[in-house]
A = this chain, B = another copy of it.
Amino acid sequence: MPKAEILDPQGQAVVRALHRTGVEGVADVRQGKRFELEVDDSVDRAELEKVAETLLANTVIEDFEVVVEAAGEAQ
């Protein structure tokens, strides 16, 4: 997700659209990316953190979080 201090024009556009459609009570919206990777046991958390940091996130403007779920646990 965009870092808290980074302006998020996409999120602000959603806030305005919500207000236009009459949805009140929304103070802020942040829009980011979500990746779901299907991996085998050879890929551990450390490698996933490295993949996220070097390939999937732009760490200058984005924070990222790695959540590991066992097969079948995924929502």
User: Which positions in A face B, CB cutoff 8 Å?
Assistant: 1, 11, 14, 17-18, 21, 23-43, 47, 51, 54-56, 65, 75
Contacts and interface: CB of A to CB of B under 8 A. Distances in A.
Contacts of A25: 39-43
Q: Which are the 8 A-B pairs with shortest beta-carbon distances? A: A25-B42, A28-B38, A34-B34, A25-B43, A30-B36, A27-B38, A25-B40, A32-B34
Copies of this chain assembled into the complex: 2
B39 A26 contact: yes
B1 A36 contact: yes
Given A14-B56, A55-B21, A34 B75 contact: no
B55 A43 contact: no
